[in-house]
Amino acid sequence: MDKINTIAIIGGTGKVGRYIATKAVQSGYQVKMLVRNPGNLTPIENGIKIIQGDVHNLQDLKKLLAGTQIVINAFGQPVKAEPLYSKVTKNVFTLMDDLQIKRYIGVTGGSLTIEQDRKSLLNKIGATLFKIFLSKLLADKQKEWHFLLDHKHIEWTLIRLPFVVDEEATDAIKEHLTDMPGSKITNQDIAAFIIKQVKDQTYIHQAPFIAN
């Protein structure tokens, strides 16, 4: 992998994204972050460049990705909104191809079930309930997953998360490829794990579960 100096973050002002941006800067990276309303931002770390724009606008995304070597997608939306995860990911990959960016890290929920999973009964029940009550959202996440499988020329990793809590890092992160190893994880632990993946090749083209 080419030397990585600059990371593009989508969803950098969200519950997890702001910690990802801070952890990236603390780890020595430059960060570009797409923000719809910069005036609403609290003070940010030096080393973070704000790109004003909307994730739905291809030109705004292109400004964000230009000059970066990795994309971290922590895009979030209200659960009742029309699901856009697969569309955003598709647009990002199109631009990554144009700009010759090879590394992508995304996040999704632990309810996403893929072929090789061996989920516990409790986690199967949770995924089933999610499918019943948030069927459109889960269908879009499945669509995103199949899109990733069809685009293995990009070095992607999709990280599956349990319930996210706003707490200090525990530095006790459990990882598993076929079942969720816990019911929650702190947003700061997620950030640490994601930044570790910037140079770690372990989960290329895989969707690990992580938890505390």
Per domain, the residue ranges of the chain are 6-211
Nearest Cα to 88, choosing from 24, 163, 34?
34
Model confidence at 83, in pLDDT bands (50, 70, 90)? confident
Calculate the CA 105 to chain-centre distance: 5
Q: Does residue 2 carry a pLDDT above 90?
A: no
- Each residue's pLDDT tens digit, 88-143: 999 999 999 999 999 999 999 999 999 999 999 999 998 899 888 889 999 999 99
pTM of the model: 0.94
Q: What is the mean pLDDT of residues 56-74?
A: 96
Question: If DSSP codes are grouped into helix, strand and coil, which group holds residue 8?
Answer: strand
Looking at residue 43, its pLDDT comes to: 62
Nearest Cα to 110, choosing from 160, 145, 178?
160
The CATH code of the domain at 6-211 is: 3.40.50.720
Q: Please, what is the Cα angle at 203 between 206 and 96, to 5 degrees?
A: 80
Burial degree of 146 (CB within 10 A; 0-12, 13-18, 19+): exposed
Looking at residue 77, its pLDDT comes to: 74
